[in-house]
């Protein structure tokens, strides 16, 4: 299963409430905070919602 490293690169100030809640669900609170996730349909949907605020790297 693929793993992804997600880093919050931009602030959520001025974003919609649903985008802020998505970041909270991903566990990203501070800029440059990084989390690891397994690939799933739910994860892809969350990433699509906040793709302008995060950076994603595929891990082996």
Q: What is the pLDDT of residue 60?
A: 76
Q: Any long-range contacts for 26-29 (C-beta under 8 Å, 24+ apart)?
A: 26/50, 28/54
What pLDDT is recorded for position 1?
Answer: 84
How many structural domains are present in the chain? 1
- Report the CATH number that the domain containing residue 50 is assigned in CATH: 3.30.1390.20
Q: What is the pTM of this model?
A: 0.91
Per-residue pLDDT reduced to its tens digit, 1-54: 899 999 999 999 999 999 999 999 999 999 999 999 999 999 999 999 999 999
Domain of residue 54 covers 3-59
């Amino acid at each position: 299963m693929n793993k992804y490293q997600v880093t919050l690169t931009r602030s959520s100030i001025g974003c919609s409430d649903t985008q802020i809640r998505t970041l909270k669900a991903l566990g990203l609170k501070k800029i440059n905070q990084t989390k690891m996730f397994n690939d799933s349909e739910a994860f892809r949907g969350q990433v699509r919602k906040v793709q302008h605020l995060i950076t994603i790297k595929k891990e082996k």
